[in-house]
Amino acid sequence: MANLMRRAATSLAQGVRGFSVSAPRHAKVSVLGAAGGIGQPLSLLLKQSTLISELALYDVANTVGVAADLSHIESAAQVKGYVGDSQLEECLTGSKIVIIPAGVPRKPGMTRDDLFNINAGIAMALADAASKACPDAMLCIISNPVNSTVPIASEVYKKNGVFDPRKLFGVTTLDVVRANTFISELKGTPVTQTQCPVIGGHAGITILPLLSQVEPSCTFTDEERAALTVRIQNAGTEVVEAKAGGGSATLSMAYAGARFAFALLQAMNGAKNIVECSYVESDVTDLQFFSTPLLLGPNGIEQNLGMGTLIDFEQEALEAMKPELSGSIAKGIKFANQ
């Protein structure tokens, strides 16, 4: 599994310059929430990809200006901005990938659950629009709390009769990116070659880096393993506090979102052995949604690679996360059906 995951490290570079086993199929990609703190740098990264023919940017304000700015960049993707509910359907029509970073960011002292009442409604409305305008598109949800917003989107797609579990993703790539970076810093491994699968969810203790499966193989003391796991779990808070009221983890999240989108684009174009972790509907555990490494293909998830063999520390952490993750899933499903 880790050997396949090493391919993910090159997703961003390959996605920018393009990759295909034959002639690439250029795709329309829509970003919903494109004028925000994540949406703008994410759109900048996506604009560079030769696999994207059209970049459709939607938000409640300011997207025309963002699109005009990006349109001056010397890359092939055509950019257009869409503003407000009346233009959302046009933005989505024909899209192959829809990425949703829309919503309010975390602020100091705010938990992901604090975001729920605002962001859940936003995610539900945008998922409903996507399910009607481009039901076959890959839907990538960044809006927090991901542990709940992905179940919300799932329920919306099921209600509208278009749910395909292969094509709905909660973007947890940032947890993998952080794990790789922090492990490299601690152990001195080459950062671009360090790969650590991260399973579970996308908040606090539901984030579980599988340090026993890191490649290149590393040895951790019990103290290092515990401290590193907590740092990866709380890395978002680390950024929120460092920005001191100036925002949350927007730039690194934009990078992670682009990396995941490029992985999807490569797989959709026929590239083999494209693996990324993502929070999806799953039967790996007794939880309905769970993040594990996924083998991606032309139609989304080709195979769920599971979580491999866990050491005692990881197994205990898995059991400890289940009540919280289960509650978040139930909260999202209840919201979507009320």
Instruction: For 240-253, give one letter per residue: b (16+ CB within 10 A) or e.
Output: beebeeebbbbebb
Q: Up-side HSE of residue 82: CA atoms within 13 Å toward CB?
A: 19
Q: Is 69 helix (H, G, I), strand (E, B) or coil?
A: helix
The yes-or-no answer on residue 202 being catalytic is: yes
CB atoms within 10 A of CB 288: 17
CB atoms within 10 A of CB 190: 9
CB atoms within 10 A of CB 136: 11
- φ/ψ region of 245 (left if φ > 0, alpha if ψ in -120 to 50, else beta) reads left
Residue whose C-alpha is closest to residue 91's, from 120, 72, 115, 66: 66
Token pair recorded at residue 245: 């009221």
Element of type H or E holding 237: helix 235-243
In this structure, which amino acid lies at residue 269? N
* Cβ contact 299:166 at 8 Å: yes
Strand partners, 169: 140
Strand partners, 297: 300
Residue whose C-alpha is closest to residue 30's, from 180, 133, 174: 133
Q: How many helices (H) and strands (E) does the chain have?
A: 12, 11
C-alpha span between 130 and 137 (Å, rounded): 8
Residue whose C-alpha is closest to residue 250's, from 8, 30, 64, 35: 35
Q: What's the farthest any 2 CA atoms get from each other in the chain?
A: 56
Which position among 202, 225, 259, 331 bears the catalytic label?
Answer: 202
Residues with active-site annotation? 202
